[in-house]
Amino acid sequence: MSAPPLEVRGLVKRYGDLTAVAGVDLTVEPGDVFGCLGPNGAGKTTLLRMTLGLIRPSAGHVRLFGRDPQLGVAALEGVSGFVEAPRFYPYLSGRANLELLAALDGDGAAGRIDEVLEIVDLRDRARDRVGGYSHGMGQRLGIAAALLRRPRLLLLDEPATGLDPAGMRDMRELIRRLAGQGMTVVLSSHLLAEVEEVCNRVAIIRRGHVVYEGSLAELRRTAGVAYRLRTTDDERAARICAAQPGIAGVAPGAGGGLTFRAESERAVGELSLALAEAGALVLELAPQLATLEDLFFQLTEERPVAVAA
């Protein structure tokens, strides 16, 4: 059985009394678009730096396709990406910057320049100076530079930060295209909507700890299901809900109505009957899945999930 693209076990990074990464375990499988999600300062960039061998762990280890990145550049075969924003010579064109990088990489990279410019939709601007590029174009050029190496694993640190809505859309589409070609992608982000749009699995990081790793669907299931309720008499309905067995967490809903949690579908059915008998006729009763934003704040701020209406 082949080693996974990325495996992290017991990873720790300390800076004096500060522990930036605290015993992280995670596994990225082939074909994943894997999101490392957390607020600024959670340890995401430090984790990526150790993954690429740029800094040495205080404890634990990283394996890239079974290889230790601390043992030299040979361990990075098939791996590429950038940490923080990519940097280029602003007075040179996009193509000239890629030509310099291709000369360093060797292995036929120069012959792939047109191909990678096409992939990131920069072929028409390749001869323009990078200093005149928008932020989004610079990010895409960074991905083009990473793709020169034909990576099987692409690591991107906050690729959508600072982009306008059109730039974010373009970045999402690009990541989807790369994943569709069989590439494994790991990206760090604090932009919840971006992760929700492109990632199939996530690790949510808080203060250097992974507080959740798995699929987004499973994350939502673990949060349970809440319900939105509107009736002909919501004030009376709130009193009935509060007294009904198996019903908890009754609260006003955004935009009117109520929200509540139920132990079972049977409890919801019994509530419906109790409301009808009390004259609070049901106008709307629907399950509401927690959004990724709700779950993120629950895990990173240790507060209850508030389900969107």
The 10 Å Cβ neighbour count of residue 100 is 14
Quote the CA–CA distance of 268 and 282 in Å, as a whole number.
12
pTM here is 0.76
Q: Considering 177, 199, 220, which residue would you say is the last residue of a domain? A: 220
Domain that holds residue 264: 225-289
Confidence tier at 132 by pLDDT (50, 70, 90): very high
- Residues 4-50 pLDDT 10s: 999 999 999 999 999 999 999 999 999 999 999 888 888 899 999 99
Of 225, 226, 229, 241, nearest to 285 by C-alpha is 229
Comparing 167 with 146, the larger pLDDT belongs to 146
Q: How many helices (H) and strands (E) does the chain have?
A: 10, 13
Domain contains 297: no
Task: Indicate which CATH number applies to the domain containing 184.
Answer: 3.40.50.300
Domain contains 294: no
Tell me: do 143 and 285 sit in the same domain.
Answer: no
Tell me: do 236 and 139 sit in the same domain.
Answer: no
Note the pLDDT of residue 293. 66
- Residues 245-301 pLDDT 10s: 989 889 898 788 998 888 888 999 999 999 999 999 999 999 876 666 666 776 776
